C-alpha cells in the first residue's frame, strides 16, 4: 500500500535545530521543506532596505501598500544544490541570517497584515501535502490539521551556542552574550505578541533536544513519522 502523504508541522523556539531536523526528515521521506522563518526574515530585509524600520518600530502605514511588491520564493542554488531564499528575484539567503535582520525580525513578524500574507502563501505551498514546514505557528495557525506536529525546545544557552557555532562556521564572528540577549528578546516577543503567539498546539509532541545529538534527533523524528503513517494506515 502506498504511504499516505501528510503535512508535518515543526514549531518551537529560535535556534533549537528545527530546520536541521525538518530538512533531514524532508530529504529522507522525499517531501518539500519550507523554512517559514526565512519568509519573515525576507520581509524584514525588505523593510530595512526601504528605510521602514526606526529602532523597533516598523512604519506599517508605508509597508501595507508595498506588500504586493514583496515576492518571496525558494530555489535551489546552482552550485550547492541547497535551497536558497529569493526576495524579488535576488538571492538573499546569506543576508537574511545576519544579526542586522535577526534583530528586527520579531517586530516585523508581529504585524498582523504581514502574518496574514505569509500564512496565505504558506497554506498555498502546502495544498498538496507532502510538506515539512518549520516555524512558530505552523501547527496552530498555518496547518491546524497537520497529521504530525512537533514542538521543539532547548535551553537558551544551548540555543545561543548553536547559533554562534553556525555563524562562526560561515566566518561571521559574534559575541555570545549578544546572541543570548537576541534569543531571549525574540522568545519574549514571539510568545507575547497578540497575533499567533508561539505556543505548543495541544496535539503537538514535545521534544527537548538540549542533550540530544543531531543523529538521535533525526532518528527520533523519523520514528514519529513512521508511527503517524502506521496509525493512518490501520
Binding site for ligand DC (CB under 6 A): 14, 36-37, 40-41, 105-106, 109, 135-138, 186, 190
Q: How many alpha carbons fall within 13 Å on the CB side of residue 64? A: 5
Q: Which three cell numbers stand for residue 88?
A: 524579488
How far apart are the C-alpha atoms of 50 and 70, rounded to whole Å?
12
With respect to ligand DC, which residue has the nearer C-beta, 6 or 159?
A: 159
Which C-beta is closer to ligand DC: that of 12 or that of 218? 12
Which residues on adjacent β-strands are paired with residue 76? 83
Least gap, CB of 11 to ligand DC (angstroms): 7
18 half-sphere exposure, CB direction, 13 A CA radius? 27
Q: Minimum CB separation from ligand DC for residue 186, in Å?
A: 4
Closest to ligand DC by CB, 185 vs 229, is 185
CB of 153 or CB of 229, closer to ligand DC: 153
Record the cell numbers describing residue 113, joined without a space: 497584515
As measured in angstroms, the least distance from the Cβ of 182 to ligand DC is 9
- What is the nearest approach in angstroms of ligand DC to the Cβ of residue 223? 24
- Of the candidates 109, 106, 129, the residue with the CA atom closest to the CA atom of residue 117: 109
Which one, 167 or 229, has the nearer CB to ligand DC? Answer: 167
**CA atoms of 124 and 117, how far apart (whole Å):** 11
Residue 226 C-beta: closest distance to ligand DC, Å = 26
* DSSP letter for each residue of 107-169: HHHT-HHHHHHHHHHHHHHTTT--EEEEESSIIIII-TT-SEEEEEE--HHHHHHHHHHHHHH
CB of 95 to ligand DC, least distance (A): 13
CB nearer to ligand DC: pick between 47 and 105:
105
At its nearest, how many Å lie between ligand DC and the CB of residue 91?
A: 17
Any idea what DSSP says for residue 95? G
Side-chain half-sphere CA neighbours of 44 within 13 A: 26
Question: How far is Cα 210 from Cα 213, in angstroms, rounded to an integer?
Answer: 9
Toward ligand DC, which CB reaches closer, 161 or 229?
161
Amino acid at each position: 500500500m502506498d504511504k499516505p502523504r501528510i503535512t508535518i508541522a515543526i514549531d518551537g523556539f529560535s535556534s533549537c535545530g528545527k530546520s536541521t531536523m525538518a530538512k533531514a526528515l524532508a530529504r529522507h521521506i522525499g517531501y518539500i521543506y519550507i523554512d517559514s522563518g526565512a519568509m519573515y526574515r525576507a520581509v524584514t530585509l525588505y523593510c530595512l532596505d526601504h528605510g521602514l524600520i526606526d529602532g523597533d518600530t516598523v512604519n506599517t502605514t508605508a509597508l501595507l501598500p508595498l506588500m504586493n511588491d514583496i515576492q518571496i520564493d525558494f530555489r535551489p542554488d546552482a552550485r550547492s544544490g541547497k535551497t536558497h531564499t529569493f526576495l524579488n528575484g535576488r538571492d538573499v539567503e546569506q543576508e537574511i541570517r545576519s544579526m542586522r535582520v535577526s534583530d528586527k525580525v520579531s517586530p516585523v513578524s508581529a504585524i498582523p497584515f504581514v502574518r496574514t500574507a505569509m500564512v496565505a502563501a504558506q497554506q498555498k505551498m502546502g495544498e498538496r501535502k507532502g510538506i515539512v514546514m518549520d516555524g512558530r505557528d505552523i501547527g496552530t495557525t498555518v496547518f491546524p490539521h497537520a497529521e504530525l506536529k512537533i514542538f521543539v525546545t532547548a535551553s537558551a544557552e544551548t540555543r545561543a551556542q548553536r547559533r554562534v557555532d553556525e555563524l562562526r562556521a560561515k566566518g561571521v564572528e559574534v559575541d555570545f552574550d549578544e546572541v543570548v540577549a537576541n534569543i531571549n528578546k525574540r522568545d519574549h516577543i514571539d510568545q507575547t505578541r497578540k497575533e499567533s503567539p508561539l505556543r505548543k498546539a495541544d496535539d503537538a509532541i514535545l521534544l527537548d533536544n538540549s542533550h540530544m545529538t543531531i543523529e538521535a534527533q533525526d532518528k527520533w523524528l523519523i520514528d514519529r513519522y513512521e508511527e503517524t503513517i502506521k496509525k493512518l494506515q490501520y
